[in-house]
A and B are shown apart, each in its own frame.
Chain A
Amino acid sequence: MDIKILGPGCANCSSLEKLVFNVLAELNADANVSKVTDFKEIASYGVMSTPALVIDGQVKFSGVVPSKAKMTEIITEAINRG
């Protein structure tokens, strides 16, 4: 699974990153997590508000840091899809 965190480095971006690692650890899941800070690349995902989360090339959400429950749901779904 390939997870990308989109954001120019705002406070919310780092809290999203922490949340992702938290949930991954809890689910005992393995993923390749990277950060995207370049505006050009962020825009190439059609994202206009940051932070945003991309899993396997698909934008899951943007402009919010979701609740932990929601995050767990999103990542579990991505794992099940393979």
Chain B
Amino acid sequence: MNIATQIFGWLNDQLLRMTWLWESVRLLVEKVFGLSIQERLGGSIHFFIYDTIKIFILLSVLIFGISYIQSYFPPERTKKILGGIKGIRGNIVGALLGTITPFCSCSSIPIFIGFTSAGLPLGVTFSFLISSPLVDLASLLLLMSFFGAKIAVAYVVVGLVLAVIGGTLIDKLGLEEYVEGYIREIESVESSIVEMTREERISYAKEQVKAIIKRVWLYVLIGVGIGAVIHNWIPQSIIENVVGANNPFAVILATVVGIPMYADIFGTLPIAEALFKKGVGAGTILSFMMAVTALSLPSLIMLSKVVKPKLLAVFFTIVTVGIIIIGYLFNASSYFIG
């Protein structure tokens, strides 16, 4: 048992946390650049190089693996599965399927139209739309790598709970009339799902890796840059007063700052990591990451084409308030569980 734990710990350190890379970059900074990583400049250079390489390795490997799995769950299949499930179970399955269905904000409209015209309850569609950008398999592994298993699992669980509750609330409020009229007129079409061969899945996964790296590399570099600045240049006292335990509104601030940002989890992580190392509460960090991934201006603009302002406002409010509550609950509970 003990040996198993040790092996698991070693694998986690080497593969997910990449201690070997941390050491190599330390040697590079100290021996080649002649800077100590204890000092500001050396420390931020180390943070920048190590985080950039680590994120790109994780990104390539994870997106490949996950795209391969996702190729079995096109939205057309998700729609079919959800069609047969009633009540809150529909919301739960919708939230879960959201984690494995390929998603980007550009596909949210066809998915919304497809689900709605197939007669799926509005709440189920929203459970799916909340969980899809918020939680996926990649974010689980990434969070494990950066923050350890406890926070990673917590993030996924509360993300799913938010999706289920959010969707259920929208269902209970009976807002069907606030869906744009033309969507109801579209007839539901059963499209046949084309099965892919193994080679096609592999090439699909490769294409996904390329496309996603092309889309996010700049955000990652910006995120790592901000992270390096937070990590080494901003005094501890300022962080504590603005987003730390000294500011009771830290969670709200983190959420409000995060919402308009359009980045995915890859760009957000280095910032979150740097804040975490500075002792900012886990709840504040979770709120920030959730706000960045779940809500963004482009996705709200997209959604505004299919739903009327009132429904959009309800969706926005539920998700925002939910994220803030999650943040405060986490910060409060971390005083008890450490």
Contact = CB atoms under 8 A, between A and B. Distances in A.
Given A45-B189, A63-B102, A66-B200, A50 B107 contact: yes
Contacts of B189: 44-46
A12 B188 CA distance: 25
Contacts of B107: 48-50
27 contacts: A8-B106, A11-B211, A12-B211, A39-B109, A39-B110, A39-B305, A40-B113, A40-B182, A40-B186, A42-B110, A43-B117, A43-B186, A44-B187, A44-B189, A47-B114, A48-B111, A48-B114, A49-B74, A49-B76, A50-B110, A62-B76, A62-B194, A63-B74, A63-B102, A64-B196, A64-B207, A67-B200
Contacts of A44: 186-187, 189
Contacts of B147: none
A49 B73 CA distance: 11
B204 to A, nearest CB: 5
Interface string A32-73: 000000011011111111100000000111111111001000
User: Interface residues of B: mostly helix, strand, loop or mixed?
Assistant: helix
Interface string B107-127: 101110110010000000000
Given A45-B189, A46-B190, 11 more contacts: A11-B211, A39-B110, A39-B113, A40-B113, A42-B110, A45-B191, A47-B191, A48-B74, A48-B75, A49-B74, A59-B191
Contacts of B79: 48
Contact of B76 (A46, A60, A64): A46
Contacts, number: 73
B188 A46 contact: yes
Nearest to B118: A46
A41 B70 CA distance: 25
A65 B236 CA distance: 49
B5 interface: no
A48 B87 CA distance: 23
Nearest to B79: A48
A63 B200 CA distance: 12
Nearest to B191: A46
A25 interface: no
